[in-house]
Amino acid sequence: MFQAGQEVLIVACEDDPRTAGRTGRIVDEVPPGPLTNGRWTVHRVGLLIGPVLCHTRELRLA
């Protein structure tokens, strides 16, 4: 489980494949639900990349 503000490494991301190998920070205060299809919101991934939605299996703690 992740917590808001944690830095994570994006291993893969269906939402935006360009983010693989980059780090970002978790936005969600609570575990993801049906609105995001169980995906975490990750931001601060890159200058020209907005927040992305990633499944738990696509993320690792940095």
9 Cβ neighbours under 8 A, 6+ residues apart: 21, 22, 23, 59, 60, 61, 62
**For 7-55, what is each residue's pLDDT tens digit?**
999 999 999 999 999 999 999 999 999 999 999 999 999 999 999 999 9
> Please, what sign has the CA dihedral across residues 21, 56, 44, 23?
negative
Pull the structure tokens for residue 35.
């609105």
pLDDT of amino acid 15: 94
pLDDT of amino acid 23: 97
Q: Is pLDDT at 1 greater than 90 in this prediction?
A: no
- The pTM score is 0.92
